[in-house]
Amino acid sequence: MIDKILNKTTLDRDDIIFLLNLNTNDSTKLFEKSIEIKNKNIGNKVYFRGLIEFSNICEKDCFYCGIRKSNSNFKRYNLTDSEILDSAKFAYTEKYGSIVLQSGEISSCKFTNRIENLLREIKTLSNNTLGVTISLGEQSEKTYKKWFKAGAHRYLLRIETSSKDLYEKIHPKNKKHSFEDRLNCLKLLKETGYQVGTGVMVGLPFQTIENLADDLLFMKNLDIDMCGMGPYIEHEDTPLFRYKTKLLSPRKRFVLTLKMIAILRIIMPNINIAASTAMQAIDPIGREKALKIGANIIMPNITPVTFRNDYSLYKNKPCTNEEASDCKNCLEARINIAGSEIAYNEWGDSLHFTNKHKNKLSQI
């Protein structure tokens, strides 16, 4: 049965559900297939994205997130422009190729203008050689266009779950947490011209295998260019923590995430897939395992070390006490051991996006 499914050119919902339910022995065949497809379509390169988590101030109150607005059990911070630009300079000097600007979700003219100015300065200090991904939540079409024009070209906006019913279980029911708004923002990002990424949490309370199969089909149907997904890790200062005894074990969540990455690589062969830090929070070599079976992006944290513990999306986040240079050296060694090659000084844009763009130009 598994051989028949893995030899199909297109996987349907039932196929994906079957693969997600595979036992340990049969999962090996799934991973062998995803490795084969990865090597054939995108090769062995791993692209760095220097991650700058520049603020944990957030207007949202998502039930799963440690930096939710209502959580007062930690210190809020907001890096200065100089601190952000120094981090970007480090990425430029160390030949990372790209950075990610990430913060809690804020929607204001002051915030919009600040990001626009920072993007322009980052492009200037790097002689336009640093690629820039931003992950700054739901914004207006006007804001997305401003940031795109200022130099951002990739945008990550995780849907977290493609099930409206589940989405509403893990978010407050108010205007700031609308499933429809999230979907519309993804649509606006595509129309603006960004390489668009999304992703989900694996192992959420109330989540089913069928939900996860639908998540993978959602990403395929949305025609995303990149994906960042990882295991759900409970945080004691969030409303969802009360369901901790009903969750899959961390190990099962980890293995299920590996299956999600492998299947996504099979159904979308040339997109970018990140090996999330949350993988390493469960397994000491979790990111390497993700890279091995399908991921090709890794995000070394280059946020000033003083602030890293306070960007607490979940508990037991790794690498919070390492300086940026230490983190780089550690990842270099880990990636080499995993048998991959770091692509320095490369943006590492999604081949999926590049091919789509070429096809559009050829039709003009």
* pLDDT tens, residue by residue, 56-65: 999 999 999 9
- 86: tokens are 């120094």
At 103-160, the pLDDT tens digits run: 999 999 999 999 999 999 999 999 999 999 999 999 999 999 999 999 999 999 999 9
At 176-194, the pLDDT tens digits run: 999 999 999 999 999 999 9
pLDDT at 338: 73
- Nearest-angstrom CA–CA distance, 310 and 290: 26
Provide the mean pLDDT of the chain: 93
Confidence class for position 353, pLDDT limits 50, 70, 90 = very high
pLDDT at 325: 64
At 6-27, the pLDDT tens digits run: 999 999 999 999 999 999 889 9
Buried b (16+ CB within 10 A) or exposed e, 185-216: bbebbbebebbbbbbbbbbbbebeeebbbbbb
- Nearest-angstrom CA–CA distance, 148 and 339: 35
Contact 284, 337 (CB under 8 A): no
pLDDT at 307: 83
Contact 34, 273 (CB under 8 A): no
pLDDT at 318: 66
Residue 33 — φ and ψ, nearest 5°?
Answer: -70, -45
The two beta strands, 201-202 and 272-275, are unpaired
Contact 295, 271 (CB under 8 A): no
At 277-286, the pLDDT tens digits run: 999 999 999 9
What is the value of pTM for the model shown? 0.95
Full set of structural domains in the chain with CATH: 11-357 (3.20.20.70)
